[in-house]
Structure 1
Amino acid sequence: MFRQLAEWYKNRFSDPNLSVLFLLLISAFLVFYFFGSILVPLFVALVLAYLLDWPINYLMRFKINRTVATLIVMLVFISIAIFAFLGLLPTVFKQGAALIRDLPAMFNESQAYLLTLPSQYPDAIDPVTVSHIVDNLRNYLLDSGGFLLSQSFASLLNIAALIVYAILVPLMMVFLLKDKEVLIASVVRFLPKNRKLANQVWLEMNDQIMNYIRGKVIEIFIVGVATYFVFFFLDLRYSALLAVLVGLSVLIPYIGAAAVTVPVAVVALFQWGLTPQFAYLMVAYGVIQVLDGNLIVPILFSEAVNLHPVVIIMSVLIFGGLWGFWGVFFAIPLATLVKAVLNAWPSHQMQTEDTEKVE
């Protein structure tokens, strides 16, 4: 067995470039896995720096110094962030509190409706089964309420950490953007010399990550704004809260759209019942989802590497399980990274031919 492993290692890692690529990937995985929670502010700063690097490069075309361009873009970004924080978040939190306050009434209505089903359909529905379902649903809601309450207290305790992050992240963004070339040169100094394949993978992934982050932010904005106008025009309750959820759902391909449809349908059902207004809303919501999947995504991610839907879903499950939100957010780039590594990795036949040429 050990002899076979030694032969496999000799055949696969005879090229020093392969060994360097493999070691760099393993090192990066171990750092993210064990120190990911500590490096969250750095990850946030890197994501936002990728997002803002494009407008900085655009300003530099007009002979503007990179430092000046960084300060201009950062001022605009911070202004937009403050406007969103003061204008949007209070409305979202207010509607979220209203939804939580209305949940008991919504539960009582659903409970009363379920208890009437055995009398309406005595041959098809068992009263004992309905009572059992209602009891389980009540216990689930009580447990969920206790969990949300504990999380609220934990969030209050983490306000100080959020304030620190609100200061650290913009500072790191400024230095990452202003000193981009210097930082990259400093990191490259400590890398091994035999990194031809690593450079090939990095060049491909750098463009992929930049396009992905920029495209996702634009997609979130377009889908969220379009959904809000539809919900607001149809006078749906909690329109801002639900629009934010729909916008953020695009972070999780396929799964997010299916999951966020449930609260939208439930709120609309309790507000209007099975009426034409409910049908109009669901049709408009379905049109937004269809346009997102068939128009917005192909336009924004036309330069991205095509991945099969099964691969995307498996990537969301695997990387989300490893790194939580950031694993879900970067599921597609990470899957693309795996594909890029496999494409860059020479096959056994190519290695054999290279060995014969050397001999």
Structure 2
Amino acid sequence: MKIKDQPFYMQSTVVLFGLILLVYVLATLADIMVPLAFAAFLAVLLNPLCNRLQQHKVPKILSIIIAMAIMILFVATVFYFLSTQIIQFGDSLPMLKQKLGDITINLKGWIQQTFGVAITKQDQMVHDALDNSQAMVGRTVNSVLSTLSVVFLLPVYIFLMLYYKTLILNFLFEVFAEENSKKVSDVLGETKSAIQSYIVGLLIEMIIVAVMNSIALLLLGVKYAILIGSIGAILNLIPYLGGIIAIALPVLMATVTKDGYSTQLGVVIAYIVIQFIDNNILVPRIVSSKVQINALMSIIVVLLGNQLWGVSGMFLSIPFVAVIKIVFDRIDDLKPWGKLLGDNVPTHHMGEMWRNRNKRKAVLPTHEQKKVD
């Protein structure tokens, strides 16, 4: 007997048990699954370049190596640029530390005068907060170490996935029934297009946002404007939450290096304008993924991704859900879930449509009500 023929409570129990099992497996095998997930997305991104090189009679292995070398060169250029900025930041670290200490002392005095909280009590509260956050810091360190391990495993996984691409695709077609071959082909084609457009769009968006952030901070006179603007653009890759976190960095730097609060206010206004441009112009036109995930689901999956795989999960969550939505849209029983994830908001809900329909039936003669049905 099929699951869909069972009572609702039985169906929901089976689905819930399956989700719990899936989450447990993904969390347990995070050290293996995270590098594989990144490698799969990047292999899809590099695949068109490899195909183009092979069309020009370049051997398969050499074409993969050339494509990976271009990717590594791009990443190395970005890291070199950021490292030069970080070195300059490190030279001023003692001065910034002293200025931050002076601000902290003044803040403690203001809190004591305004709220009557003794400085010793404030120190104790800060100490307790730091003790309670040790577990969170530990998780963050583990996430960073996991991300570093991803960097070393990625080239190997990407090379092997591109090399065995035909084998993997044939497996996906053969594992499903022959009558589903068209659906499998459509899902694979849309998945490839969605991932490629999403990642390329994000890279272009990141560069534009980094330039806008840096220009705004330079005009406001914030120190290390290029470094902070670039970090803010990278954080902006985390949907919705990253943009909020990115504002704190230039505000803190302005607080430490400048007197007064006009610069901080200017930073907040500038970043709000940049976020408005990003969300309403850049994302719709540049991040041209075929699958649009609505804002509510984006925030939820980013938080779930962080809980499951840490920082890596936050970056992987949106493209992963985009792939899931493609599959849902192709399976009749799962189409409602695909609509729930999507960004197409209906103008009327079905309950309202049914009420309006019943109202129309009530005012019609009996013989006309059958026509409405």
**Shift in alpha-carbon separation, 1:259–1:193, aligned structure 2, 3 A:** same
Superposition map of 1:36-55 within 5 A: 36-55=30-49
Determine which of 93, 108, 127 is the counterpart of 2:116: 127
- Match 2:294 to one of 291, 308, 311: 308
Write the deviation string for residues 162-190 of structure 1: whole angstroms up to 9, x where unpaired. 5x865543233233334422442255445
Is contact 1:253–1:312 with CA below 8 Å preserved after alignment? yes
Instruction: Provide closer, same or farther for how the CA distance between residues 165 and 290 of structure 1 changes in structure 2, counting only shifts above 3 A.
Output: closer
Q: How does 1:154-165 map to 2 (within 5 A)?
A: none
User: Per the alignment, in what secondary structure is the counterpart of residue 293 of structure 2?
Assistant: coil
Deviations 1:183-222 (A, max 9, x none): 4225544556565555554443332222222222222233
Shift in alpha-carbon separation, 1:326–1:275, aligned structure 2, 3 A: closer
Offset of 1:323 from its aligned partner?
2.4
Q: Secondary structure at the match of 2:6?
A: helix
Secondary structure in 1 aligned to 2:233? helix
Range moving further from structure 2, 74-83 or 165-174: 165-174
Question: Percent identical across equivalent pairs?
Answer: 23
User: Residue in 2 aligned with 1:169?
Assistant: 154
Superposed, which structure 2 residues align to 1:275-314 within 5 Å? 275-314=261-300
Offset of residue 111 of structure 1: 3.1
Residue aligning to 2:332: 346
Where does residue 169 of structure 2 map in the other structure?
Answer: 184
- Please name the residue that 1:136 is paired with: 125
Describe the shift of the 1:200–1:127 C-alpha distance in structure 2 as closer, same or farther (beyond 3 A): same
| 8 Å contact from structure 1 (residues 272, 278) kept in 2 | no
1:257 deviates by 0.9
Write the mapping of 1:200-349 to structure 2, written as runs, cut at 5 A: 200-232=186-218, 234-347=220-333
How far did residue 148 of structure 1 move? 6.7
Question: Which whole-Å CA distance do the structure 2 matches of 1:254 and 1:45 have between them?
Answer: 25
1:129–1:308 Cα change, 3 Å: farther
1:321 Cα deviation from its structure 2 partner: 1.6
Structure 1: where are the runs of 5+ without partners? 14-23, 120-124, 349-359
Which residue is 2:77 aligned to?
83
Q: Report how far residue 88 of structure 1 moved.
A: 2.4
**Kept after mapping to 1: 8 A contact 2:112/2:118:** no
- For the residue of structure 1 that corresponds to 2:288, the secondary structure is coil
> How many pairs are equivalent?
329
Q: Is the 8 A contact 2:305 2:314 kept in 1?
A: yes
8 Å CA contact 2:86–2:227 kept in 1: the answer is yes
Which residue identity does 2:6 align to in structure 1?
A: W
Question: RMSD of aligned C-alpha atoms?
Answer: 4.5
**In the alignment, which of 68, 71, 74 is matched to residue 74 of structure 1?**
68
Amino acid at match of 1:170: P
Query: Kindly tell me: are residues 131 and 298 of structure 1, through their superposed partners in 2, closer, same or farther at Cα, counting changes over 3 Å?
Result: farther
SS of the equivalent of 2:117 reads: helix
Once the 2 structures are TM-superposed, how far is the Cα of residue 110 of structure 1 from its aligned partner? Answer: 3.0
TM-score (norm 2): 0.68
Aligned to 2:366: none
**Cα distance 1:303–1:263, how it changes in 2: closer, same or farther (>3 A)?**
closer
- Please say which of residues 44-53 and 196-205 is displaced more in the overlay: 196-205
SS in 2 for 1:252: coil
Measure the CA separation in 1 of the matches of 2:328 and 2:87: 45
| 1:167/1:319 CA distance change after superposition, 3 Å | closer
| Structure-1 separation of matches of 2:196 and 2:272 | 29
Amino acid at match of 1:226: M
